[in-house]
Amino acid sequence: MPINKNALGRYKVIDMLVRNNMRPYPTMEEIIEACREKLGIDPSVHTIQKDINRMKLDPPEGFSAPLEYNTSKRGYEYLDPNYSISGIPLSDSDIDTIKESIDLIRNIGRSQMSEKFNSAMEKILTTVLEEFPQANSKRQILHTMTPPAARGFEHFDLFYSACREKRPVSFVHYSYKKREFKSITIHPYMIKEFDNKWYIMGYSENHKLLRTFGLDRVFDPFILKKTFISPDPQSLAVNTHDYYGVFPIPQQKMQKMKIEASALATEYFQAYPIHESQKVKKDPDGFSTISFHLIPTIELTRLFLSYGRHVKIISPEWLIEFTENLK
């Protein structure tokens, strides 16, 4: 049976009092008083007695706490003076999972995490390595691509906090394509990752539209004390689910697109579907017609182009022309 949050709070209070060398051997009354003070609750003697009994049980029910009443001192004590329940009780399976997770975390790459997440992760890794030193020397089994941190990623924490607290942000943006700087005020609602690139999405005061900006082109953001403009929930649904990539092609709505894929390209599209609307109609020779129902994006056309002669756009007409112009 899992330990509930209230009981865990009482266990921690008992543990804290029993380990206090300045005032050892706390009495039942002192424990109840401490619960009142620390937790704002008024537990009965019966409740605390039950807590003490449960703490003595072996995991997973309890903590194997060597907790006893010392009759001569008229208070509670740990028979092992170094004992504490603060060491998190883990099963063998928990330990294995943590070890595997360490591998995964290392592979995701600390450079990919923001300063705040990095610091939290550092604490976890240090604690786990203290607990299981062998985790550090284990042969690496998982491996993922970990490129160096990208420009602009240092703003992740600021945008994360602005999204969470609903605060507008002013920043300077540089457009690679237009070779133009602009001062932008965004009311951000989401940070998006695509293809190892990070983007901030929100309502742009300057464009009067929902817009997406690559963090690599964002400079010196400042959180502003002004009224936040929440995006229209309907636009949000469209923006987050109905396209592949980040930048929709202007003036294009949700529509059906068809490509012809070689046998080789078909294998990849089947193995790695790019959108939930993807449908593959396979021919006897292994070639296929693949359809998608989504909002066309720059990233989608680039994906098609990346397959070279293995992918040919069949429809719509305008997309054929548009993609030709990207070459």
Partner 1 sequence: MSAKNETLLFEIPELDTPKKNPKVLRVLISKDFTRIDFGYTTPWYYDKGGWIKISPKTYLQAEGFPEKYALKDAVGISIAPKRINFQSTEDWQFFTLYFEPIPQQDCVLNMIEAEKPTPNDFNYYGIMLKMKEGAVTYT
CA separation, residue 266 to residues 17, 244, 259, 290, 315 (Å): 66, 18, 10, 8, 17
Q: Of the ranges 179-187, 234-242, 274-282, 287-295, which one interacts with partner 1 (CB under 8 A)?
A: 179-187
- Tell whether residue 318 is a contact of partner 1 (CB under 8 A): no
**d(C-alpha 211, C-alpha 132), whole Å:** 46
For 132, counting Cβ atoms within 10 Å of its Cβ (0-12 exposed, 13-18 middle, 19+ buried), the class is middle
Q: Of the ranges 22-30, 110-118, 127-135, 216-224, which one interacts with partner 1 (CB under 8 A)?
A: 216-224
Report the sign of the C-alpha dihedral through residues 295, 299, 305, 310, in that order: negative
- Tell whether residue 170 is a contact of partner 1 (CB under 8 A): yes
- Tell whether residue 229 is a contact of partner 1 (CB under 8 A): no
- Tell whether residue 164 is a contact of partner 1 (CB under 8 A): no
Longest CA pairwise span in the chain (Å): 92
Choice from 120, 131, 209, 219 touching partner 1 (CB under 8 A): 219
Structure tokens at 195: 């293809």
Supply the minimum distance, in Å, between the C-beta of residue 218 and partner 1: 10
Q: What is the DSSP letter of 177?
A: T
In the block, which residue shows the tokens 């109840």? 32
- Tell whether residue 209 is a contact of partner 1 (CB under 8 A): no
Q: Of the ranges 16-24, 37-45, 67-75, 174-182, which one interacts with partner 1 (CB under 8 A)?
A: 174-182
279-282 vs 311-315, strand pairing mode: unpaired
Q: Of the ranges 4-12, 108-116, 224-232, 278-286, which one interacts with partner 1 (CB under 8 A)?
A: 224-232
# residues contacting partner 1 (CB under 8 A): 18
**d(C-alpha 217, C-alpha 184), whole Å:** 12
- Tell whether residue 183 is a contact of partner 1 (CB under 8 A): yes
- Tell whether residue 226 is a contact of partner 1 (CB under 8 A): yes
Provide the binding-site residues for partner 1, judged by CB under 8 A: 167-168, 170, 172, 174, 179-183, 185, 219-220, 222-226
